[in-house]
Structure 1
Amino acid sequence: MPLDPRALSASLNEALTLHSSLCRREAAEFLKATDSGEELVVACTQESRLFQELAEEANSTVPIKFVNIRETGGWSRDAAKASPKIAALLAAAHLPAPDPVATVTYQSAGRALIIGPLDAAERAAEWLGDALDVTLFSQGAGDSGGAQVRRFLVLSGQIQTLTGWLGAFELNWQQNNPIDLDLCTRCNACLAACPEDAIALDYQINLKLCDANRACVKVCKVAGAIDFTRAPQSQRDSFDLVLDLRATPAFTQHAKPQGYLHWDGRDIKALLQWRDQVGEFEKPKFFAYKQKLCAHSRNEKEGCTACIDVCSASAISSDKHRQQIKVNPNLCVGCGTCSTVCPTGAISFAYPRASDQGVRFKTLLSTYQRSGGRDAALLLHSQGQGAQLLGDLGRAAQLEKNQKEGTHGVPARVLPVPLWHTSSTGLELWLSAVAYGASNVWVLLTDEEAQQYAAALREQMAVAQAILSGLGYAGVHFKLLQVRDARDLAELDRQLQAMAAQAPVRHASFAVQADKRATLELALDHLIAHAPKTDGERIVLPACGSPLGALAINKDACTLCLSCVNACPASALADNTAAPQLRFIEKNCVQCGLCVKTCPEKALSLLPQLNLSAQRKESVLLNDMPPYVCVCCGKPFGTLKGIEAMLGKLAGHSMFQGAALERLKMCGDCRIIDIYSADNETKITDIPS
């Protein structure tokens, strides 16, 4: 690699030594560095295992971090210009680890359930029986049927439900066959005796073929396993692990529960890894939820369902009783897409937190710019397949470097950023990255991602791009790079050569906040303040996925009942205690639609937009009208249109005729006085409170 240690040292304000074969001939230099007692960054991931072994042999307790600058920087046709990028990657690697988060614990004793044809289930059990306590659930005989020697407990019947996760699976089934497999000795006497061949080698009776001659019962007297008078019984049992051999899996969501494996019978490595899930395990609790900010439900009206719709693990559901969402931490796989699409920030990604990602983006971009880099593009990719693809791309570029035509490799201006999951960042972080100086923000997706992730990211990118285009920033700033496997390296290489887009001349200094909306406002303020040009006072945004916008009101239909104020979860709508008014703060609106669904007159509609004027942050008057005054005392107690609408609707009702209708024109106090005056026999206890 054509590395420049002087330039890197100047960029990082730290003396660096260039090694040519650190992992082999110069391993002693690495061990010497571990003696310093300070955290160590090794700019190589190829031999990370060797470095860790060397440190362990030397009894070193120094924290060691690894960062790949070879395939992502040094092995590229742009390698000679990659010093700013390499400095940025090294600077980011020096950042402290994020603060620890709460964890989710699984406990598995190794009780495994295998569901499938009996012959296939028994073959799989042979691989697992030495490590797990295996129970089989027969789903037919299969091609060869069950073995004559019964080594494992076998269940049968009709599966009703299978739910749960590692250490907590619940199986409910109905045992509805005359043969009890727990008593059956597999002597095959019933198979030989049955004239209709209604009994197969799964030792269950096909009741559609059986003509009830009961020959099987006569030959099974000793074992007593066959009983046609036995009523179907509902059964339930718990398991720690589930291996599913059926063509159709029990769980259809993209991200299956931990501890569940839908196995095709070919990938032995996957099966062996699955059998190791015995003991106690921990994973981060990937999310944080603030119910007060949630725009899912108010007053039994459903508003935003973005997180429920996008979750690939079926971990998020609607809690209608509490009028909020419910997240199952045991099912959550930490994709973070729920936080990306959440308009309010009620659900946020906690591993790492948004503020940690902000520091990382800022460090990368500021170091890159300080080192002389220009037109930075952040490439967000997964730590798994995404990192492997970039490694393959770098190796291909190195092998083809002497060819006139060949793989370019990762360009010098592209800064790879590994993420726990590629869909865990969204609008506010992308716009913050642009405000920090990024020309482009790209997200690399592979076939390991659920389809709904790509759709959600496209919606968010459309909103972000509309904002920047409306502000006059030229070029395409956001893009999804979708690659399936190594066969698409040429296409990935081509897409990485895209032109740089325009970024603000002055780079922002704000820090990403824990609150999503606060970060979004900081980024918008900076981008608006340094916008090349703006056409008009408003930017129209896409209807799908926009967390920004206003409200349109039909004043002729609105009665100022103020139901919308009570429904708004973001304090975007408010009343006026001094006068019948409906007021609105556009900055607070998250476009959840709860106000629209709550309005009994259907007088409201959403307007996805970004208001560029200062009025966006101010309380503005949406509607007002004269008050309705009591016909007795003259005190205002409602709106003119609201009371008139009520009178019109109740005028034909039998309960509101004559004096009763007139009482509707009175305030609460005068109404009670009038009722007492009209009927002196009315008791105080009969009056509703």
Structure 2
Amino acid sequence: MGIETVSDYDDGFELLKTLDSRIGEYVYQRKINYDPDHCQYFHRRPNKNQEGYCHRCADVCPTFGVGKDDSLMELIFSKIDCIGCGNCVNVCPSGSLQRDGYDKEAIVEIAKLYKNKTPVVMDFDTFETLEEFDFYSCIPLLLPQVNLLNEMYLMTLIQESGSEIIIFTKNPSENLLESIKLVNNIYDCIHNIKPIHITEEIKALSDLCDTLKPNKNLSYTYAQNQREALRDIFAQRLMFLIKNNDYGIVKNTQTSHYGEIIINQNTCTLCMSCVGACNVKSLSSNASNFSLQFNPSSCTTCGYCVDSCPENAISLDLYGISLSPSWFENKTMAQDKMFECIECSKPFATTKSIEKIKSIMLPIFKDDTAKIRSLECCPDCKVKVMFEKNIEAFI
């Protein structure tokens, strides 16, 4: 039925007449597909403000197409209200939101069709206004809405086509402009070019179509996995550009969120709560050397691990992207020795975690030698020590 403001009508009858004219059958197409597996909001604890850690999709939605329920920590989608603007797809850091028919797999397959051609990216409606336009050697690449393109999609179009690209639109979103800025800054650092050109002027479009040519140095094909997270795909494409070189740091734009976590090794007990909190596998544990590993290229900087740490040992540094090989490697953030049970010598915990527990429990246990000894025992031997104490009490 839509939303109307009463004050816009002279009387109630006129308002009812307008609403009555809209009664009928409507067909609504699903425009957005949602996969909660990597979603940074779905079923997570609320933060200190009782909100989710990431709800950018709901924040940028200009209608009621995407909303959120903080009591259930679930996103709400409305086919009726969604206008297919693409803003939610652009800002989703994990790729949980995809445009129906134009997901990340479809985009890469479309881009491959433009190999050694210069794509002119525009939406369907814009293309209809260019009936007699001469694209020269360039070829139009049509999307439902260009604003869905984020840095991963943009880099895919450049590398799979092997060419600089043109985006022709009169209504670019702020997020699209910032994504373009980020990718252009990356290429500027590495190749001293800015491969994405955006314009709304016919004359400028004509000049670009006449001058831009494919560039084999930009060409790269990556066989992405269907279940691969957006940041992982972006990292693979970025690795191709960097190779073994170090090009410094590209700072975040106003809407990008790249960086890494900092861990205080003196307070971290390697409880691995942060590993359990991370659903993009940026954080992991290495059982072979009892260490906590972190890969900054996969991190969405959602901050969930920060508040999940019981020791307040984690902080975020949103400095941008490090254009060096180390950005894609697992880093050892904290490491410890395994603590062996004083009864059976079986390793069962880290030394730091045992010391932490002892510092808390010793003042409570005081002179109870059995309980104090149990603090340094594995679960099996802990039962044995306390059982022997109770037996002695009855003898």
SS in 1 for 2:13: helix
User: Is this contact kept in 1: 2:43–2:72, CA < 8 A?
Assistant: no
SS in 2 for 1:423: helix
User: CA offset at residue 545 of structure 1?
Assistant: 4.7
Which residue in the other structure is 2:234 paired with?
Answer: 520
Distance in 1 (CA, whole Å) between partners of 2:249 and 2:235 is 15
User: Is this contact kept in 1: 2:42–2:74, CA < 8 A?
Assistant: yes
Which residue in the other structure is 2:156 paired with?
Answer: 432
User: Is this contact kept in 2: 1:474–1:502, CA < 8 A?
Assistant: no
User: CA offset at residue 581 of structure 1?
Assistant: 1.4
User: Is this contact kept in 2: 1:568–1:595, CA < 8 A?
Assistant: yes
TM-score (norm 1): 0.47
> Any unmatched runs of 5+ in structure 2?
47-51
User: How many residue pairs end up in the alignment?
Assistant: 379
Residue 626 in structure 1 maps to residue 344 in structure 2: no
Distance in 1 (CA, whole Å) between partners of 2:386 and 2:334 is 34
Q: 1:306 aligns with which of 56, 70, 94?
A: 56
1:468 is aligned with what amino acid? Y
Which residue in the other structure is 1:315 paired with?
Answer: 65
How well do the aligned residues superpose, as a CA RMSD in angstroms? 3.9
Which residue in the other structure is 2:177 paired with?
Answer: 458
User: CA offset at residue 648 of structure 1?
Assistant: 2.8
1:423 is aligned with what amino acid? N
For 1:316-465, list aligned pairs within 5 A: 316-320=66-70, 323-364=73-114, 366=116, 369=117, 376=118, 378-380=120-122, 382-384=123-125, 386-387=126-127, 391=130, 412=136, 415-435=139-159, 436-442=161-167, 444-446=169-171, 454-465=173-184
1:345 is aligned with what amino acid? G
Which residue in the other structure is 1:147 paired with?
Answer: none
Distance in 2 (CA, whole Å) between partners of 1:501 and 1:547 is 32
Which residue in the other structure is 2:49 paired with?
Answer: none
User: Is this contact kept in 1: 2:165–2:196, CA < 8 A?
Assistant: yes
User: Is this contact kept in 2: 1:378–1:441, CA < 8 A?
Assistant: yes
Q: 2:220 aligns with which of 504, 508, 527?
A: 508
Distance in 2 (CA, whole Å) between partners of 1:476 and 1:661 is 65
SS in 1 for 2:321: strand
**Per-residue CA shift, 1:51-98, capped at 9, x if unaligned?**
xxxxxxxxxxxxxxxxxxxxxxxxxxxxxxxxxxxxxxxxxxxxxxxx
> Any unmatched runs of 5+ in structure 1?
1-107, 134-274, 370-375, 396-408, 484-488, 683-689
For 1:196-235, list aligned pairs within 5 A: none
2:234 is aligned with what amino acid? L
616-625 vs 343-352, greater mean Cα deviation: 616-625
1:524 is aligned with what amino acid? L
2:367 is aligned with what amino acid? G
User: CA offset at residue 112 of structure 1?
Assistant: 11
Query: In 2 relative to 1, CA 668–125 (structure 1 residues): closer, same or farther, beyond 3 Å?
Result: closer
Q: 2:267 aligns with which of 527, 540, 557?
A: 557
User: CA offset at residue 562 of structure 1?
Assistant: 0.9
Which residue in the other structure is 1:163 paired with?
Answer: none
Query: In 2 relative to 1, CA 361–632 (structure 1 residues): closer, same or farther, beyond 3 Å?
Result: closer
Q: 1:589 aligns with which of 299, 303, 308?
A: 299
Distance in 2 (CA, whole Å) between partners of 1:337 and 1:650 is 52
TM-score (norm 2): 0.77
Residue 467 in structure 1 maps to residue 358 in structure 2: no
2:321 is aligned with what amino acid? Q
User: Is this contact kept in 1: 2:248–2:322, CA < 8 A?
Assistant: yes
User: CA offset at residue 627 of structure 1?
Assistant: 2.3
**Per-residue CA shift, 1:105-136, capped at 9, x if unaligned?**
xxx8xx9998448743334556x5xxx74xxx
User: CA offset at residue 541 of structure 1?
Assistant: 4.1
Distance in 2 (CA, whole Å) between partners of 1:112 and 1:321 is 26
User: Is this contact kept in 1: 2:148–2:176, CA < 8 A?
Assistant: no
Residue 600 in structure 1 maps to residue 324 in structure 2: no
**Per-residue CA shift, 1:424-454, capped at 9, x if unaligned?**
22222211221112323435243xx7xxxx2
User: CA offset at residue 346 of structure 1?
Assistant: 1.5
Residue 569 in structure 1 maps to residue 279 in structure 2: yes
User: CA offset at residue 589 of structure 1?
Assistant: 2.9
- Name which one, 1 or 2, has greater alpha-carbon Rg: 1
Which residue in the other structure is 1:476 paired with?
Answer: 194
User: CA offset at residue 564 of structure 1?
Assistant: 0.7
2:350 is aligned with what amino acid? T
User: Is this contact kept in 1: 2:31–2:100, CA < 8 A?
Assistant: yes
Q: 2:384 aligns with which of 660, 663, 673?
A: 673
User: CA offset at residue 583 of structure 1?
Assistant: 2.0
User: Is this contact kept in 1: 2:36–2:42, CA < 8 A?
Assistant: no
Distance in 2 (CA, whole Å) between partners of 1:419 and 1:411 is 17
User: Is this contact kept in 1: 2:90–2:150, CA < 8 A?
Assistant: yes
User: Is this contact kept in 2: 1:632–1:670, CA < 8 A?
Assistant: yes
Distance in 2 (CA, whole Å) between partners of 1:512 and 1:635 is 43
SS in 1 for 2:27: strand
Distance in 2 (CA, whole Å) between partners of 1:543 and 1:679 is 64
Query: In 2 relative to 1, CA 310–675 (structure 1 residues): closer, same or farther, beyond 3 Å?
Result: same
SS in 2 for 1:678: helix
For 1:135-284, list aligned pairs within 5 A: 275=21, 277-284=22-29
User: CA offset at residue 542 of structure 1?
Assistant: 1.2
Which residue in the other structure is 1:121 paired with?
Answer: 12
Distance in 2 (CA, whole Å) between partners of 1:623 and 1:292 is 27
User: CA offset at residue 565 of structure 1?
Assistant: 0.5
Distance in 2 (CA, whole Å) between partners of 1:524 and 1:112 is 45
Distance in 2 (CA, whole Å) between partners of 1:315 and 1:118 is 26
User: Is this contact kept in 1: 2:168–2:205, CA < 8 A?
Assistant: no
User: Is this contact kept in 2: 1:422–1:445, CA < 8 A?
Assistant: no
Distance in 2 (CA, whole Å) between partners of 1:443 and 1:558 is 50
In proportion to residue count, which structure has more helix? 2
1:306 is aligned with what amino acid? R
User: CA offset at residue 343 of structure 1?
Assistant: 1.8
